[in-house]
Structure 1
Amino acid sequence: MAHAYAPFPYVVPPGLNAPEPRHKVVIIGAGPVGLVLALDLARRGTPSVLLEAGDAVATGSRAMGWSRRSLEIFDRLGIADKVLEKGVPWSVGRVCHGDDEIFSFDLAEGPGDRMPPFLNLQQYHVEHFLSDRALADPLIDLRFRNRVTGIDPDADGVQVTIRTPDGGYMLAADYAIACDGARSTVRAMLDLDFEGELFEERFLIADVEMEGDLPSERWFWFEPGFHDGQSALLHRQADNIYRIDLQLGPHADPKEESRPEKVIPRIEQVIGPDFELDWVSVYSFQCRRLGEFVHGRVIFAGDSAHLIPPFGARGANGGLQDADNLGWKLAAVLDGRAPPSLIDSYNRERVQAADENIRQSSRATRFMGPANGVERLFRDQILALARKAPFARDWVNSGRLSTPCIYATTGPDDPRLPAISRPGAVAPDAPQGAGWLLAALGRDAMLLAINCDAPAVADLPVLPVEVNPAVVARYLGRAGRALYLVRPDQVIAARWVEADARQIAKALAALWEGRA
């Protein structure tokens, strides 16, 4: 393989020699979601033990399309510079029917955006950057080759049983967070199952290494001549690795289709013969989730909580937003600054987000692989119409690209202010002096004062915002002033054109209680 999969060191855990003191948080699974959660908790002063059954990063590109919101999260955690340097940013997508391009789109960032709309970077690179950061943080105890074999929650905490190469031991914690992926052992141990839809359609993923000059764009084909009427997707990644997804149909045998002698001729039809096959996987579409993500003192995040097809880059990006939503809430509850009801709001908001992602992915799946009859006729007519009529192009669904969920909220709002910055939405970035607005936000809730003075509210820092065209477009609209209450995860909790200290304090209390 092109990537060197060097193992991380195994260290004998202290629990093998003597009982360990009770921990605040045990995180199970050191993929991107578990690592981001541990790093976010550490930023807030909350220590964690992070358990990983393996000792190396993920094999193959896997999650490779990172959204602007994920890049903003990486920036807060201190790895964005490395990700941006290594990855392949893109904004242009091209959609083809047969061998003809029927339309293209450009998500190019505006003057108010620091991060590109999307960046392609293999999951193993991201895991390396996050792992190195976690290993260097004194508040994170990252333990490789520590496999969870049992979990016993009660009203006050969780007992976790762990197996290592040197034997077994137990940990007690206030909370256990399951970030252990699609085949979650924690989910199985608690006898929890997904609800939703398992599609029969199968896709082949192949990473290939080649010297090429293909543009950094997203290419999607419906029924291309090179792939027998199925769908195909091509992305450029780092290190001369290209990602190719090929629809195989519902009756494909995963073992047979993964054989190199089967895969290589298919890839040659797409890009020609000059490449090296790096990694192959065959997967089925799943649009499923747990009924609830919070089960007492055990909380689920990422693929252990929901499974979403990769088209649209909603799986890993949604998982990082799970961690981003949970981290500040968990830290506040453990510090005694917020009641346990704040954790319930994680369940409410991230279930809403998962349902939105599942709904979008289900629609894309049906458009890519329509059933024979009316469904296929409708799809084919839309593709034909999109060649001639621009209005029909919005109906073509090759995977709606990931955007942050706008949470349902009762936070105070003023309709005179722009829709992009309404309560429940992530605060949009904007230039701010020599830097950027999101980078100026702290680890706690903050009040943005735009073109006005802010009333003094206890325990609420104020950030005066410099007015510039991006701030006007995204935060003021036609209003001449505004106050914005922003949560610790950079989500807007409330906004006013004018407000007094009592109104702001009331909204702040609702934020910490999980009512906003």
Structure 2
Amino acid sequence: MLDDRYSLAHRLYPYARSSDQDADVAAHHPAVVIGGGPIGMTVALDLALKGIRTLVLDDHEGVGEGSRAICFAKRTLEICDRLGCGAAMVDKGVVWNLGKVFHGEDMVFEFNLLPEGGHRRPAFINLQQPYFEKFLVERIRQVQAEGAPIEIRGKNRVETLDVADDGARIEVVTPDGPYTITADWVLACDGAGSPTRKALGLGFEGKVFRDSFLIADVRMKADLPVERRFWFEPPFRDAGDSALLHKQPDDIWRIDFQIGWDVDRDAEMKEDRIRARIDQMLPKAEYEIVWTSIYTFQCRRMRSFRHGRVLFVGDSAHQVSPFGARGANGGVQDADNLGWKLAMVMKGEAPEALIDSYDSERCPATDENIRNSTRSTDFITPKSEMSRIFRDAVLHLSRNNDFARPFVNSGRLSTPSIYDGSPLNTADGLPEGPAGARPGAPCPDAPLGDGFLLDRLGEGFVLLAIGQEAPKIRGVGSLSIGTSIPEVLNRYLGAVERALYLIRPDQHVAARWATATPAQIEAALHRARGRKVA
């Protein structure tokens, strides 16, 4: 159910006939993105900014309806900063770092996801997914006007996909009829129901959890703190076994009710039934219902995200339950991981084997998300009486005992993946350095002058030298900083006096040393580019 006044489904890219539809021979495109959701637009924008001619095919003409994903994590915002649209998202979004967990009427504890300062971005913002998509499309329009090689085609639905060793042949259906194009690479960003995945006969393995959750987005003026509130066994009658309350922009509040598996979904979606639940939770509130939906927890993924010249990104490759905000955030990390690798391969700067590291890095990251999401689901919805006794005991102990609080799981919130064991990593040459900046980790941010460190790292490979001068390596940028900034000391040096970091284009650490010779750096650079090192 959707209130039309809440819809952001504007025709941002209305259908227009393209020259490809009148061509005698199928037009060729280096990179074709199937699906114009948040992940498709993210990876398309990234490729275009790297000079790769990219075509987005979407069966709609604009952003989707309803809030859907709303929690966007610090790492996602840092990626969007690099793409040039992070500031607009933060300006519109509701910033929060604090969460509270309740059991019945009693607060069990509260937590701060970003207790330390010196970061440009907050732990999370709440922003309706259509806004997130809208800001990406607006940024694409901006870089288009500046000459970036990117095109979006609305009402262009992929009908068939014939894959070969060197690319694919794609039949597209439009309001004016079908046409055919070819592509070197195809990026399937067409969602959990991915028609591309189904057309290729590829599996999507995992688990569907026997429970249902009702989402209600309501518009109301409420004098409530901006924080994540989660209730186990909420005191408001008929709410179900759990409930969640979040604030969004435009005076919209997201409410999740756990309503069980054996329910009449049509009956639960009736407005009077939804209002009965909300009135019990917020008895004095004046509100209007603007969007509702029912969802089921699912944790599934493909065995491999690469199938020749077809690459699966975001929900088309994996699906997790919403608690923990790991779906869209994980998908943006997919796009961030893939974009620079595909661009380097397409430019002839790296071997095609580099693309395989997308699979070897993002599959374990997905498993981590699924593992955390499954554990959250098992804690929120115990599957046995013994599991429920354990959960309730943990909640009881957590009220007065710090040791029990890490066991409370109301949705382990999204954190960036560390690519331990990646074939692109060089063995840690600074093992006594901070674990949060080890090879495979995303670079921690830190204040630097009148800005922040991540803004200074640029787009390509870069050497970050702390307490020393960065060696000159061809094709590698450099940034040398002192040791006087406390956040730099804590996040990059720890107990050591100086350090040298090789940073990848996605701002993950490829290698680090106290000092390194040009030969050591070159070897690490070759490895990070997917080349074999003797």
Q: Given the two structures, how large is their TM-score scaled by the length of structure 1?
A: 0.98
Aligned ranges 1:269-284 → 2 under 5 Å:
269-272=280-283, 273-284=285-296
The residue number in structure 1 matching 2:116 is 110
CA distance in 1 between partners of 2:64 and 2:163 (Å): 29
Q: 1:345·1:515 contact (CA, 8 Å) conserved in 2?
A: no
Q: Which letter maps to 1:38?
A: A
**Range 374-383 or range 139-148, more displaced:** 374-383
CA distance in 2 between partners of 1:199 and 1:130 (Å): 33
Per-residue CA distance 1:349-379 (angstroms, 9 max, x = gap): 1101100000000000000110232111111
2:362 is paired with a residue of what secondary structure? Answer: helix
Query: How well do the aligned residues superpose, as a CA RMSD in angstroms?
Result: 1.4
CA distance in 2 between partners of 1:5 and 1:131 (Å): 12
Aligned ranges 1:380-395 → 2 under 5 Å:
380-395=392-407
**Range 110-119 or range 249-258, more displaced:** 249-258
Aligned residues: 516
Q: 1:222·1:232 contact (CA, 8 Å) conserved in 2?
A: yes
CA distance in 1 between partners of 2:264 and 2:73 (Å): 32
> Paired residue for 2:268, among 254, 257, 262?
257
**Range 287-296 or range 460-469, more displaced:** 460-469
> Paired residue for 2:426, among 411, 414, 420?
411
Per-residue CA distance 1:302-338 (angstroms, 9 max, x = gap): 0000000111110000000000000000000000001
CA distance in 2 between partners of 1:473 and 1:191 (Å): 49
**Does residue 1:401 correspond to 2:416, yes or no?**
no
The residue number in structure 1 matching 2:527 is 510
Q: Which letter maps to 1:504?
A: I
Q: 1:182·1:303 contact (CA, 8 Å) conserved in 2?
A: yes
**Does residue 1:177 correspond to 2:187, yes or no?**
yes
Q: Which letter maps to 1:398?
A: S
2:185 is paired with a residue of what secondary structure? Answer: strand
2:470 is paired with a residue of what secondary structure? Answer: coil
Q: Which letter maps to 2:262?
A: H
Q: 1:41·1:331 contact (CA, 8 Å) conserved in 2?
A: yes
**Does residue 1:12 correspond to 2:17, yes or no?**
yes
Q: 1:135·1:142 contact (CA, 8 Å) conserved in 2?
A: no
1:212 positional shift: 1.2
Q: Which letter maps to 2:85?
A: I
> Paired residue for 1:238, among 236, 239, 249?
249
Q: 2:398·2:405 contact (CA, 8 Å) conserved in 1?
A: yes
1:392 is paired with a residue of what secondary structure? Answer: helix
CA distance in 1 between partners of 2:56 and 2:86 (Å): 22
1:4 positional shift: 4.4
**Range 245-254 or range 275-284, more displaced:** 245-254
1:22 is paired with a residue of what secondary structure? Answer: strand
CA distance in 2 between partners of 1:515 and 1:241 (Å): 52
1:316 is paired with a residue of what secondary structure? Answer: helix
Aligned ranges 1:191-270 → 2 under 5 Å:
191-228=201-238, 229-270=240-281
**Does residue 1:345 correspond to 2:332, yes or no?**
no
CA distance in 1 between partners of 2:184 and 2:463 (Å): 31
TM-aligned CA distance change 1:226 to 1:515, over 3 Å? farther
Q: 1:432·1:466 contact (CA, 8 Å) conserved in 2?
A: no
The residue number in structure 1 matching 2:499 is 482
CA distance in 1 between partners of 2:8 and 2:313 (Å): 28
CA distance in 2 between partners of 1:227 and 1:143 (Å): 48
The residue number in structure 2 matching 1:335 is 347
TM-aligned CA distance change 1:426 to 1:4, over 3 Å? closer
1:109 positional shift: 5.0
**Range 352-361 or range 197-206, more displaced:** 197-206
**Does residue 1:167 correspond to 2:199, yes or no?**
no
**Range 230-239 or range 428-437, more displaced:** 428-437
The residue number in structure 2 matching 1:456 is 472
CA distance in 2 between partners of 1:154 and 1:107 (Å): 46
The residue number in structure 2 matching 1:373 is 385
1:68 positional shift: 0.3
Per-residue CA distance 1:189-245 (angstroms, 9 max, x = gap): 011121111111111111110111211100000001214451000000000000011
Per-residue CA distance 1:131-168 (angstroms, 9 max, x = gap): 11223324111011111111111100011111011111
